[in-house]
Structure 1
Amino acid sequence: MTDTETISETTSETCADSRTRAQRANQARLLSEQADRYAVTLESVISVLRSSSMDDRGARETATQIAATALVRLRTATDDHLDALEPVAGAFSRLKEDVQPLVRFGKLDVEFVEPPTNGRALPGDVAHAARAIVRNVLLMLANAAEAQRSRVHWDCDGLNLLINIRDDGRGETQPHDDALRPVSEHVTALDGQMTVSSTPGWGTEMSISIPLDPVSAPAPLEGLPEVSGREQEVLNELARGARNAEIARTLGITEHTVKFHISKLLKKAGARNRAELISLMH
């Protein structure tokens, strides 16, 4: 085999590996989206069954309708093209559809402030992440049962998607709370920024900025002891916001093994948590 043939074969293998990695990442994102929707659906059903404004028959019928609608949506999932652009207003409308049952039958009153219709279109992964972020926050508020009202506002400055979420809860939420970890990791994975401002007795405001331009691929951490190939694969998955179960499915390993690799990476990097590790990669 000539040198040219060897280079050509190596290049082909590299391209095939890249395509496989992209397919796995896309599948993991779809699974994450489905998990978010399951959580919203279950919380909506529970809210209906607990509602004091409905009789037993009405509650059962409404809960059945919510579950049936979610099942139809699952069978006709439309999130399989995450690389496509979504108009910002359309992406926001999909968010409202996702959480509509939770808002309608839950105890949390949510006000949605529409984004400008002429805003720059959102890349599919940004639109997906933005919806997941807001759903996670609203679920957190609903489960905590401390806030009565929340306000969700999207805007676009041409370079970033701007998300603002306010609530009238106790005002005790802190940026490093465990409940906010999925949100902070999602934001960090997209090279975004998040600030949390809480005022005791007045509520909490979260301001999130997500860049619309593609995120550069994570590079190996410099100055560390040698990072193995498997550890680098785990880093890549962490960088896009994947959770342990998703990483395990994507890489074909157990969650215990994922935790083992993350623990080793944290020690090598001297990082205190996953979010800090992801930040060091960028």
Structure 2
Amino acid sequence: MPAPTTSTGSNRALEANRARALTEQADRCSVMLEAILAALRSPRLGDRAARQAATEVATNTLVELRTWTIEHRAAVVEPVTGAFERLRRDLGPLLRYGELDVQFVEPPANGRALPGEVAHAARAIVRNAVLTFADAGQARRVRIEWGCDGLNLLVGIRDDGAGDIDAHDDSLRPIVEQVSHLDGTMRVASTPGWGTEMNITIPLDPPEPALDGSDLTDREREIMRQVASGARNREIADEIGVSEHTVKFHVSKLLRRTGTRNRAELAALLH
């Protein structure tokens, strides 16, 4: 008897899940490396204490990564409070030895459980935002708040940095792509000298996107071809004679429609 075949749609879903798992682990490794650097650079720790702290961070993170891998295989939904507590643990090493003072505003205990994909993406979004603020070197305080209105996860992140970050900043591109992938919305408001505030809304029941090129414009087809070839936004803009922001808009739209979360997944899907 011939072996059962797997549909193209199932293969795509499997590959997308694997890519999300790899991205989640990459984000955790980024936080670990930032925490190690924070410990080694901390003026409060001597050389020996800094090395011990860095070793502790690496060891604990490796254990957490193994635990997460096991849990991820079975996770379908996560209580909103549990997902938020995991975020707090993820950021713990960075906050322990870094200079940022982070305030966590707990979500309602009776909030609706989050689909696994939404919970993972929301944690990655917050981690990326905190790392962006930390890299800028201006912020001293960050406030993180999660809420739920029954239909959407509401994420608020605010810092007291220089207030010079906007929605088109390259450092926010991974966040923009993640929010776009989940059909969410993102608003960034910065006030010079007062800081930056991000407000993100992520649907808890995002529609299943599908690839359908029948109604794409000629420009969108050309941008898809360029992305598949590995061209970056600036190269695409120069090639087809549009602004880089126009290319970013079309790429975000294509990510939503194809169900991919970044350019690498989109290029792989097109190939």
| Bin of the TM-score, shorter chain as denominator length | 0.7 to 0.9
Q: Give the match's secondary structure for 1:151.
A: strand
Q: Which residue of 2 aligns with 1:224?
A: 217
The one-letter code sitting in structure 2 at the alignment partner of 1:152 is I
Q: Which has the larger radius of gyration?
A: 1
Pick closer, same or farther for the CA change 1:81–1:214 going to 2, 3 Å: farther
List gaps (5 residues or longer) in structure 2.
258-271
In 2, Cα distance between equivalents of 1:133 and 1:220:
28
List gaps (5 residues or longer) in structure 1.
1-8, 236-255
Q: Give yes or no for the alignment of 1:24 onto 2:24.
A: no
Which residue among 103, 110, 119 is the counterpart of 2:95? 103
1:191-225 deviations in whole A, cap 9, x for unaligned?
Answer: 10010111111111110000000332134352424
Q: Give the match's secondary structure for 1:142.
A: helix
In 1, Cα distance between equivalents of 2:88 and 2:196:
21
In 2, Cα distance between equivalents of 1:82 and 1:180:
30
The one-letter code sitting in structure 2 at the alignment partner of 1:259 is A
Q: Which residue of 2 aligns with 1:153?
A: 145
Aligned-residue offset at 1:82: 7.4
In 2, Cα distance between equivalents of 1:158 and 1:89:
14
Pick closer, same or farther for the CA change 1:187–1:79 going to 2, 3 Å: farther
1:69-88 deviations in whole A, cap 9, x for unaligned?
Answer: 11222333245337601000
Pick closer, same or farther for the CA change 1:268–1:88 going to 2, 3 Å: farther
* Aligned-CA RMSD value: 3.0
Q: Give yes or no for the alignment of 1:132 onto 2:124.
A: yes
CA contact (8 A) 1:155 1:162 kept: yes
The one-letter code sitting in structure 2 at the alignment partner of 1:197 is A
Q: Give yes or no for the alignment of 1:177 onto 2:169.
A: yes
Which TM-score applies when normalising by structure 1? 0.78
Aligned-residue offset at 1:170: 1.0
Aligned-residue offset at 1:130: 0.2
In 1, Cα distance between equivalents of 2:112 and 2:241:
40
1:10-40 deviations in whole A, cap 9, x for unaligned?
Answer: xx75x53222222111110111011101110
Q: How many residues align?
A: 247
Q: Give the match's secondary structure for 1:198.
A: strand
1:54-104 deviations in whole A, cap 9, x for unaligned?
Answer: 121111111101101112223332453376010000000010111101111
Q: Which residue of 2 aligns with 1:259?
A: 231
Q: Give the match's secondary structure for 1:194.
A: strand
Aligned ranges for residues 1-282 of structure 1 at < 5 Å?
Answer: 13=5, 15-76=6-67, 77-78=69-70, 80-81=72-73, 84-221=76-213, 222-225=215-218, 257-259=229-231, 263=236, 272-279=246-253
The one-letter code sitting in structure 2 at the alignment partner of 1:103 is L
Q: Give the match's secondary structure for 2:193.
A: coil
Q: Give the match's secondary structure for 2:28.
A: helix
Q: Percent identity?
A: 48
The one-letter code sitting in structure 1 at the alignment partner of 2:84 is F
In 2, Cα distance between equivalents of 1:140 and 1:273:
23
Q: Give the match's secondary structure for 2:201.
A: strand
CA contact (8 A) 1:224 1:269 kept: no
The one-letter code sitting in structure 1 at the alignment partner of 2:21 is L
Q: Which residue of 1 aligns with 2:267?
A: none
In 2, Cα distance between equivalents of 1:275 and 1:86:
32
1:84-125 deviations in whole A, cap 9, x for unaligned?
Answer: 010000000010111101111111111010000100000000
In 2, Cα distance between equivalents of 1:21 and 1:194:
27
Q: Which residue of 2 aligns with 1:249?
A: none
Pick closer, same or farther for the CA change 1:74–1:188 going to 2, 3 Å: same
In 2, Cα distance between equivalents of 1:98 and 1:84:
20
In 2, Cα distance between equivalents of 1:267 and 1:78:
46
Q: Give the match's secondary structure for 1:81.
A: helix
Aligned-residue offset at 1:260: 7.8
